[in-house]
Amino acid sequence: MQNGLPQITSCLLSLGFMIQEISLTEGKKIYFASDNHLGAPSAAESLPREKKFVSWLDTIKDSAAAIFLLGDLFDFWFEYKTVVPKGFTRTFGKLAELSDAGIHIYYFVGNHDLWMHGYFEDELGIQVFHKPQDLGLIIKLF
């Protein structure tokens, strides 16, 4: 116990049948973002918004235990088997960097990005959910 508050050492996140443990040591947090709609109304007009999002990801990287992206990161996303849409390189690079650093990233597909078929999982190491999930957060206090 520090400063009279219990120390959170970890939490268990129940996603359907899978249980994922996320370490929440002192100073670590879980972050949420949604509805960026990158690409709208045009790629050029959304570029400043993309840069802000990437900057935000950069500011939280040292304190993030997990990041939940709650749909519609893009205004329209459609993956083909061997190609992905042009653009959003800054976003992909930063997400890959965070995932490679061991930060858990969970993506819940929204109505503007239903057509995700493996790119985020295979290339970025991000777990993608296409259906609603029952989430439970179990916090161990010591």
Domain residue ranges in the chain: 28-133
Burial of residue 37 (CB within 10 Å: 0-12, 13-18, 19+) is: middle
The pTM (predicted TM-score) of the whole model is: 0.80
pLDDT digits (tens, 9 = 90+) for 47-78: 999 999 999 999 999 999 899 999 888 887 77
Asked if 88 and 38 count as a contact pair (C-beta separation under 8 A), the reply is yes
Output 138 or 3, whichever has higher pLDDT.
138
Q: Could you count the other beta carbons within 10 Å of the beta carbon of residue 24?
A: 18
Q: Could you count the other beta carbons within 10 Å of the beta carbon of residue 45?
A: 10
Asked if 135 and 11 count as a contact pair (C-beta separation under 8 A), the reply is no
> Which pLDDT does position 13 carry in this prediction?
56
Highest mean pLDDT among 8-22, 30-44, 112-126, 128-142: 30-44
Asked if 1 and 38 count as a contact pair (C-beta separation under 8 A), the reply is no
pLDDT digits (tens, 9 = 90+) for 83-115: 777 788 999 999 999 999 999 999 988 787 767
Q: Name residue, tokens 């061991």.
A: 102
- How many helices (H) and strands (E) would you count in the chain? 3, 7
Query: Per CATH, the architecture of 28-133 is what?
Result: 4-Layer Sandwich (3.60)
Percent of the chain with pLDDT strictly greater than 70: 76
Supply 88's token pair: 């959003």
> Which pLDDT does position 3 carry in this prediction?
47
Cα–Cα dist 77/122, whole Å:
16
> Which pLDDT does position 60 carry in this prediction?
97
> Which pLDDT does position 137 carry in this prediction?
62
Supply 10's token pair: 């970890």
Q: Kindly indicate the confidence band of residue 116, based on its pLDDT and cuts at 50, 70 and 90.
A: confident
The amino acid at residue 24 is L
In 24-101, beta strands by DSSP E: 29-33, 64-69
> Which pLDDT does position 129 carry in this prediction?
86
